[in-house]
Amino acid sequence: MLSSERPKPSQSKHRRVFEGSELEQTIAAAEEPYQTLFTVAALTGARLSELLALTWANVGIADVSDAEIEFAHQVDRHGNLGPTKTDGSARTVPVPQELAQILADHKARSTFIAPQDFVFATRSGRPFGQRNIARALRRAQFNAADETGQPTYPMLHAVDEHGSSVPIPHGEVPSMHSFRHTVASRALLAGESVDEIAFLLGHRDANVTRAVYVRELADARRRTMRRSRMLAEYSDLLTRADTRASSAAPGVPSASGETISE
């Protein structure tokens, strides 16, 4: 791989992944055909450009027990079909029976089902635009809720004093690329090999996977371990500080007997 193609971890921003139940709640709130597209993204980690380039010839679901998806092309932002990002990006990924059935149901609802037709097509048969997919994802995230009915992403519902929506900082809410990052992170945590994850993601070699995702996961683990060690080593200090803060709350008598007010 050319050096210009290889991500430089030191220059990379933190990659937002779906945390907790965000992934499941987001997909559950999506409408079709986006729900199917997001599900394929969540299981395969494919690039959005690769997902939009899928044709029915690439989707092997005749036997759902031995189903697979071939990622052989990508589309650009203008909907033009072309080769995958690199030679190593072309790959065939086995998928579970449940996903094969979801795709079969999607095909049954579709107008364009010839081998050369796009799996995710507009009414005119063209592939969906990437901006439309981004808007559909944000709509699903806005509607997503947990089991108690509370918004999955409260910040999307925040308004200012004038009742206008508060701008969301870039990277605060998962994007389409977050499906890919989540697949990599979960696979690494599950103990899958770097080589296998590199194949799944369509990296030309495992060095890209190792340089980006393994480093980030190691950093996350390191931060978690450091917090745990700090808590273990300074638990008495933190407990006393918390007690002092509680006793100094407004309306609570201080050690001198005076009431502390705001």
Q: What is the pLDDT of residues 55-77, one digit of tens each?
A: 999 999 999 999 999 999 999 88
Q: Read off the pLDDT band of 107 (50, 70, 90).
A: very high
We report the CATH number of the domain holding residue 146 as 1.10.443.10
For residue 60, the model assigns a pLDDT of 97
Structure tokens at 239: 């407990």
Statement: residue 262 has pLDDT above 50: no
The rounded distance, in Å, linking the Cα atoms of 46 and 181 is 10
Q: Is 9 within the bounds of a domain?
A: no
Statement: residue 150 has pLDDT above 80: yes
- For residues 51 and 171, the model is more confident at 51
Q: Is 59 within the bounds of a domain?
A: yes
Q: Helices 176-189 and 34-44, interaxial angle, to 10°?
A: 40
Range 224-240 average pLDDT: 72
User: Which are the contacts of 217, defined by CB distance < 8 A and separation ≥ 6?
Assistant: 185, 188, 189
Statement: residue 132 has pLDDT above 50: yes
Q: Is 261 within the bounds of a domain?
A: no
User: Strand, helix or coil at 63?
Assistant: coil
Q: Is 198 within the bounds of a domain?
A: yes
Q: Which amino acid is at 12?
A: S
User: Strand, helix or coil at 212?
Assistant: helix
For residue 4, the model assigns a pLDDT of 39
What percent of the chain shows pLDDT beyond 70? 80
Q: How remote is the C-alpha of 160 from its chain's centroid? A: 28
Provide the number of structural domains found in the chain: 1
Range 84-90 average pLDDT: 78
Structure tokens at 125: 């048969």
**Segments forming the whole domain that contains residue 198:** 14-160+169-247
Element (H, E) at 27: helix 22-29
Q: Of 94-98, 135-139, 195-199, 205-209, which gets the smallest average pLDDT?
A: 205-209
The rounded distance, in Å, linking the Cα atoms of 178 and 194 is 19
DSSP label of 18: -
Q: Is 148 within the bounds of a domain?
A: yes
E strands, the chain, are 59-60, 68-71, 73-75, 81-83, 91-94
Q: Read off the pLDDT band of 219 (50, 70, 90).
A: low
Torsional class of 75: left (φ above 0), alpha (ψ -120 to 50), beta (otherwise): beta
Q: Of 151-160, 175-184, 222-231, which gets the smallest average pLDDT?
A: 222-231
Q: Is 184 within the bounds of a domain?
A: yes
Q: Of 29-43, 148-162, 186-200, 231-245, which gets the smallest average pLDDT?
A: 231-245
Range 117-146 average pLDDT: 96
Q: Read off the pLDDT band of 86 (50, 70, 90).
A: confident
Task: Provide the mean pLDDT of the chain.
Answer: 84
Q: Helices 194-201 and 176-189, interaxial angle, to 10°?
A: 160
For residue 115, the model assigns a pLDDT of 97
Q: Is 96 within the bounds of a domain?
A: yes
Q: Is 230 within the bounds of a domain?
A: yes
Range 153-181 average pLDDT: 93
- For residues 6 and 196, the model is more confident at 196
- For residues 225 and 53, the model is more confident at 53
